Copies of this chain bind each other. A is one copy, B any other.
Amino acid sequence: MVKEELWAVVMAGGSGTRFWPASRRARPKQFLPIAGDLSMIGATVQRLEGLIGADRILVVTSGDLAPLVSECLPMLCSENVLVEPVGRNTAPCVALAALEIERRAPDSVHVVLPADHVIAPPASFQASLVAAAEEARRARHLCTLGIRPTFPATGYGYIEAGDELACHGEFSAHHVERFVEKPDHARAEEFLTTGRYLWNAGIFVWETRTVIEAIRDHAPEILEPLEVAGSSTGLEEVYPQLPALPIDTAVMEQATNRSVLPISYAWSDVGAWNSLEDVAPRDDQGNSYAGGTQVVSLDSSDNLIYADAGELVALIGVKDLIVVRSGDALLVCPKDRAQDVKDIVERLKKEGPEFL
């Protein structure tokens, strides 16, 4: 496949509430250096360098967040930033971007990526995208990447892989038997044992033409209003009426022309503070650091610490805690309660919206 036919769509409209207090309404997770020196969206685009140029990358976000896209991605021209009038989950976002790419490059293949994942190394990632793009061209399939599980995760959806359809270098494409919701621990153990189940990373590769036809077939109520709405004024009217559905439910679970490429390189959706442990540097005591953190610690181990640059965090005799200091707020929480940060965010909607 000719490289110039490959485009990318980066979905950057999320709110990242599980990363409060670093992630705020005004600057969600994807615009923060949560897992390295670059913002997560900056790292996402950098990871494509050499394969997909900035002129072939579209970012979809909200009007509020568009200035942050420009700040984090200065190489991106403004016509490559698509603004959704309101967030309606991923299906409308995917459709909006696909229609825009169709206008510019009707024969293209494109990749759809969340702005806030950590994936390494970039060379392996790019090789898998090329393989998936070849499969998308060959079979006219909706292709996904499926992460080979390394533990019985209950926080991810799974894809059951079936027969092998084709081989592309080191990668193989498999029929998708089915998508499975987040399992309980026992089922997750089973999934891990069979070796047939893969984590659904929410990364898609398809011909622009093929995904538009798939949305027309399975979610015409999303595609047709967007086709009619030519201008941004049209979008303002049409968008709030679209069903807020994930692309998985609206299209992938309905389609039959779908395949999955199992991959084994390092991947994390960095879904909550505790998941940073897998990607952040650690000291001899097992403490992990993210952000601009400076730490002095005594008898403290296996903590995860994030702080704004210039802030000192001192720990004495604590273990397995998440300690986050950002802006005007501070969070202290055991690692195994990281998911409950969303409950604090819910409380703050009533009790302290100025801190969101």
| A337 proximal to B (CB < 8 A) | yes
Q: In whole angstroms, what is the CA distance A145 to B332 when docked? A: 41
- Residues in A310-356 with C-beta less than 8 Å from chain B: 310-318, 321, 323, 325, 328-334, 337, 340-341, 343-344, 347-348, 351-352, 355
In the complex, are the beta carbons of B312 and A329 less than 8 A apart? yes
In the complex, are the beta carbons of B333 and A296 less than 8 A apart? no
By size class, the interface of chain A is 35 or more
- Residue among B312, B316, B351 making CB contact with A334, cutoff 8 Å: B316
Q: In whole angstroms, what is the CA distance A340 to B299 when docked? A: 11
Q: Which of A311, A317, A332, A343 has the most CB of B within 10 A?
A: A332
Residues of the B chain whose Cβ atoms lie less than 8 Å from the Cβ of A352: 294, 296, 312
A100: min CB distance to chain B, Å: 40
In the complex, are the beta carbons of B317 and A337 less than 8 A apart? yes
- Residue among B314, B343, B344 making CB contact with A330, cutoff 8 Å: B314
A338: min CB distance to chain B, Å: 9
In the complex, are the beta carbons of B315 and A332 less than 8 A apart? yes
- Residues in A216-232 with C-beta less than 8 Å from chain B: none
Residues of the B chain whose Cβ atoms lie less than 8 Å from the Cβ of A186: none
- Residue among B294, B316, B323, B340 making CB contact with A317, cutoff 8 Å: B340
Residues of the B chain whose Cβ atoms lie less than 8 Å from the Cβ of A348: 296
Q: In whole angstroms, what is the CA distance A318 to B347 when docked? A: 18
Q: Which residue of B lies closest to A321 (CB)?
A: B332
| A298 proximal to B (CB < 8 A) | yes
Q: Which residue of B lies closest to A316 (CB)?
A: B333
In the complex, are the beta carbons of A355 and B312 less than 8 A apart? yes
Interface residue ranges, A against B (CB under 8 Å):
20-21, 294, 296, 298, 307, 310-318, 321, 323, 325, 328-334, 337, 340-341, 343-344, 347-348, 351-352, 355
Beyond contacts A313-B332, A323-B332, A325-B325: 9 other A-B pairs, Cβ-Cβ < 8 A, are A21-B312, A313-B330, A314-B330, A314-B331, A314-B333, A316-B340, A318-B333, A325-B330, A330-B330
